[in-house]
Every structure is written in C-alpha cells, then in structure tokens.
Chain A
C-alpha cells in the first residue's frame, strides 16, 4: 500500500503493512488540505506492526504527553506510551520507520500515531525553513493579527467570530511562519477549525457540533470544515501586522482590548511554539520570532465567557486592528 499526501511544503508518502495503520496515517495527513505550490520536500512514513513494544526514550529532544523524542546527528528516535517507535533517517528525503505493537493495531488504538506524524511533519517543516506556529491568524485589508492563546484559550471561537465579521482566516491553530530577508510570511495548512460544541449557541450556522465525533480524548472540541460554511473566508498567506494575546476571563462581560507592552510581544509569540531542546532548532525558532515581532503591534484581548452573545462584541477590537 503506497499513497502520497501534501502537508504545506511537504510531500508525504505513506507505506503501511496493515490497513489500520494506513487508515490512521491517511486520516491524520488528510487534514492538511490547503494546496501549496512546489517545490516540495519529500518525507516517507513507513509503518508496520511488531510483536513487542519499545521502551520510552529519555526525551532529550522533546517531551510530549504521549511521546518522547531523542535526536542525534540529525536523526530522530521517538517512542510513545503504547510502545510505538519511530526512527528517521536521511535528510533531503527523510524516511521514518514506524513500528507499532500488534496489540495496538489489533485494537485500533492508534491515536499515538498522530504524535509521530506531528513530529515527522514539524521536523520536515523546519528543514524546509518554516517554523510551526500553534496560533490562529486572520486577514483583512492587509491587516493580519496572529491570535495567541494556549489550547482551549479561545483562538478558534475568536477566529470564527472574526470570519463572520468579514475577515478571512489562515487557520485557527496550525500555521507556518518564516522570514525571508526582511519579509515575514504566515501560511495556512488546513481548512478545519477545532470548535467547542457550545459555539453553535453563538454562531448557529455551524449547526449541531455534537453530531460530529470528538477528535481526541483530550477535548470536547470537534473538527469543523470552515470552507463549507464560510466558503469565501479563507486566505492562503499573509504578512503579520499584530500579535494578540487572547485571554478568556470568566468574570468579564463583553471584551476588553488594550495595548500589549512591547516587551510582552516576543514572549507571547514564543509561547505558541513547541521548542525542542536542540540548539540549532531552538536558535532558528528564536531568530524567526525576533524578526517577526520587530515590525508588529501588540494587543491584549480579554474575552468574557458569554461575550459572543453580542454580535457587536468585537467591534472595538476590530477598530484597534484596522486603525
């Protein structure tokens, strides 16, 4: 079985010994549905089942909730809690050999393959010169705020609210960022928003989100295809003009926007990036963030729990952005 997918600047070929492995890899990669022009960097994910699970590595390069990663000489060795293991080789066309315990394949408990795919993609994107950014971004009239918050911090709902107000979205939580000379560029990777079912109360056109399956055991959120409901509301690329620190404030009514102090802009953006404990990778990320923040304005946005009941709640925020 052999199939190719695209994920931003990567062309990913998958090879799998069993259908469940192929299906999970294809499902994970299928989310990256924004078309990019080439050239593409080739990545191969080759998965097979094995009898015994692997022991977890230390995580000297990266420690995630379900996965630890070591790296040496430009090659990676990742392990997950279920005993899956991935090793990379090569640089120009990186190949990942993935081994998954038979028990996990048989029971189709393959969520941890998502972590391995995420590692392979982020490593590939960095090789291609891009920094993966866990943030949202929208654009209107050349104004492009990067919306920064942690998981569950309100990025997706804010993105959807701004789309309803006439902005176009690059994405709600997965973007790529790079600097070329003095130019900074953000690129979109997918059309999917991760929306909480409660979003339907404020934005009825999204429908009953509880009818969609939860996308992981970590969250109640559902993957929602934004281009079906808001077909004109996506943008492929933009140059960021603002960094917005988004905070949900349960005691607040409506929203409040303030200037974000200059010294807070760099850390706000840096906190949206998974930084490996590797000098070369970290230095590249810091340099990209430093160049990005040099030319942007910072805003601090507090959003009350039920703010979106008021369709005009973001008017002041939008005025600040567009002034």
Chain B
C-alpha cells in the first residue's frame, strides 16, 4: 500500500480505467490489470466504488453512504483512503452521475481486501496461467 497525499473532500476521483469489476452475490471483485492484484469488496464498499466509476468526491460518497444508513463516522473516509492507497483511484476532471446498482439492503462498514498474491504477470501460455518453469 502506498501513502497517498491528503484528500480534500471536494477532490474528484475516478476508478482507474484499467481496473475491472464484477458483481458477486455478496459484493464485488476488482481486478487491477496493471498489477494483477484482485480485491474483494463487500456490498457497501461496492456501492461506494460505483460512484467513482464516473467520478465523485469524498463528500459525494459520504453523503450517499449516510442516505443508505451509514453512521456519521469516518468509516467511509477510511475505506476511500484504503482504495487510494491501493492506487485504484486517480484524479478526475469532472464528476458525473453513474449508472448504479441499488444500494445494499442493509449498510455495513465498507471493506476492501486485497488478495495476498497477485495473478501471474508472465504466464506459461495464452491458455495456461501457471508460473513458467525454466526449460
């Protein structure tokens, strides 16, 4: 994890273009195509990150989380700081309304967990993602 510069509540951030996501029954998974790390998000975390797909500020997502029932604490800011530290967000010029999934039925502290090991960056072949052995 990197230490990112301090974030103002009005700074606009967006999910990096080379980070792809898919929805699971209890949240989502992000894959960073640059580092090949993937990340597990719970439902609340995913509903926040979707706001960043088209650009959003910390103030935007905190307000959204409170409308979804989040307590008035620093849990959303802490979560966004984690996502920034993983370098999944980048500065953006403008914020836009994203097409969103419905928020989770019940709010929980948003969490993001990085898998201990990234996927392999150099593979045996286009079919076999194993670590290449020496010939």
- Chain A residues in the interface with B (C-beta under 8 A): 62-67, 69, 114-115, 118-119, 121-123, 132, 134, 150-152, 173-174, 217-219, 263, 266-267, 270-275, 277-279, 282-283, 286-287, 289-290, 293-294
Question: Of residues B33, B38, B125, which shows the largest number of chain A Cβ atoms within 10 Å of its Cβ?
Answer: B125
Closest 7 CB pairs of A and B: A65-B132, A286-B22, A151-B130, A150-B130, A274-B129, A119-B126, A122-B126
In the complex, whether B29 has a CB less than 8 A from a CB of chain A is: yes
Interface of A, secondary structure class, is mixed
Residue contact A277 to B33, C-beta cutoff 8 Å: yes
Residues of chain B within 8 A (CB-CB) of A272 are: 129
Residues of chain A within 8 A (CB-CB) of B121 are: 63
Return the chain B residue nearest A263 by Cβ.
B40
Say whether, besides A63-B121, A279-B18, A270 and B38 are in contact (CB < 8 Å).
yes
Residue contact B29 to A275, C-beta cutoff 8 Å: no
Say whether, besides A217-B135, A283-B22, A132 and B127 are in contact (CB < 8 Å).
yes
User: A174 vs B132: C-alpha distance in the bound complex, in angstroms?
Assistant: 17
User: A278 vs B19: C-alpha distance in the bound complex, in angstroms?
Assistant: 10
Say whether, besides A270-B38, A277-B18, A282 and B33 are in contact (CB < 8 Å).
yes
A-B contact pairs, 13 of them (CB 8 A): A63-B122, A64-B126, A65-B125, A115-B125, A132-B126, A150-B131, A173-B128, A218-B124, A219-B133, A274-B125, A283-B21, A286-B21, A290-B22
- Chain B residues in the interface with A (C-beta under 8 A): 17-18, 20-25, 29, 31, 33-34, 36, 38, 40, 115, 119, 121-133, 135
Residues of chain B within 8 A (CB-CB) of A263 are: 40
Residues of chain B within 8 A (CB-CB) of A152 are: 130, 133
Specify which of A66, A118, A266, A270 is in contact with B127 (CB 8 Å cutoff).
A118
Interface of B, secondary structure class, is loop
User: A151 vs B120: C-alpha distance in the bound complex, in angstroms?
Assistant: 13
Say whether, besides A283-B20, A289-B22, A267 and B130 are in contact (CB < 8 Å).
no
Residue contact B33 to A122, C-beta cutoff 8 Å: no
> How far in angstroms is the closest Cβ of chain A from B125?
5
Apart from A152-B133, A275-B36, list 6 A-B contacts with CB within 8 A: A64-B122, A123-B126, A274-B128, A277-B18, A278-B33, A290-B22
Residue contact A64 to B29, C-beta cutoff 8 Å: no
Residue contact B123 to A64, C-beta cutoff 8 Å: yes
Residue contact A134 to B119, C-beta cutoff 8 Å: no
Question: Of residues A64, A119, A122, A271, which shows the largest number of chain B Cβ atoms within 10 Å of its Cβ?
Answer: A64
Say whether, besides A65-B132, A118-B127, A270 and B20 are in contact (CB < 8 Å).
no
> How far in angstroms is the closest Cβ of chain B from A76?
10
Say whether, besides A271-B119, A283-B20, A277 and B126 are in contact (CB < 8 Å).
no
Residue contact B20 to A286, C-beta cutoff 8 Å: yes
Residue contact B25 to A294, C-beta cutoff 8 Å: yes
Residues of chain B within 8 A (CB-CB) of A219 are: 133
